[in-house]
Amino acid sequence: MTNPRADVSIITLNGKSPQIHDSAFIAPGCRIMGDVTIGAEASLWYNCVIRAEVNRVVIGARTNIQDGSIIHCDGPMPGVEDGFPTIIGDDVLVGHNVMLHGCILHDRSFVGLSATVMNGAVIEGDAMLAAGAMLTQGKRIEARQLWAGSPARFVRELDDAAIMGMQLGVAHYVLNAKAHAAAISEA
């Protein structure tokens, strides 16, 4: 039986150590550094990098960060004394190969495959950024909106079926993480 975190780097930087809930799934190949907090039943999939040496990164409960995604933040700067932490709420879906930098994702938001969210950008609850989109600095996607493109622009309001689909995706990833953790521990 192998240690499920054997190929994971958890590194203290500038006196700050990652705080990871015991029920979180951290897949092999992940690198987690600095002032990072990861909530209950969250999942970080294969080869994600979470780097928080100049500010903090928070990942909420049941949130999933899919394979190859990168999360960073920005420190204090003139005019922005608090800098740009990356704060990700509960029940958030983050697709494969996403770049999150100094942004806020509210509970139940969704970021599609290979999208980028930049400093000061906000995605409200039950809102979606489409695959491949770039949400530029300081932009805000309001609740139940879909934005797409590069730079991202409003496309349409999300209906109840789309919101339910996102909620089902969260539940799927919680169960899938448990299956992967079991398979890794048996390898």
pLDDT confidence band for 46 (50 / 70 / 90): very high
Task: Report the share of the chain in percent with pLDDT over 70.
Answer: 97
**For 170-187, what is the mean pLDDT?**
93
pLDDT confidence band for 3 (50 / 70 / 90): very low
Domain span holding position 111: 9-186
In a domain, 58, yes or no: yes
The pLDDT assigned to 158 comes to 98
In a domain, 178, yes or no: yes
The pLDDT assigned to 6 comes to 65
**For 144-173, what is the mean pLDDT?**
97
Residue 96 maps to which CATH number? 2.160.10.10
In a domain, 4, yes or no: no
The pLDDT assigned to 5 comes to 60
pLDDT confidence band for 187 (50 / 70 / 90): confident
Peptide bond into 85 cis (omega under 30): no
Is the model's pLDDT at 1 over the cut of 50?
no
pLDDT tens by residue, 98-132: 999 999 999 999 999 999 999 999 999 999 999 99
Q: Kindly report the CA angle at 176 between 39 and 88, in degrees rounded to 5?
A: 30
CA distance 40 to 62: 6
Task: List all residues 6 or more positions away from 45 whose beta carbon is below 8 Å from its beta carbon.
Answer: 27, 30, 64, 65, 66, 67, 68, 69, 96
**For 31-60, what is the mean pLDDT?**
98
The pLDDT assigned to 71 comes to 98
93-94 and 153-157 beta bridge pairing: unpaired
In a domain, 45, yes or no: yes
Q: Average pLDDT of the chain? A: 95
Is the model's pLDDT at 7 over the cut of 60?
yes
In a domain, 108, yes or no: yes
CA distance 26 to 37: 13
The total of structural domains in the chain comes to 1
pTM of the model: 0.95
The pLDDT assigned to 2 comes to 41
In a domain, 1, yes or no: no
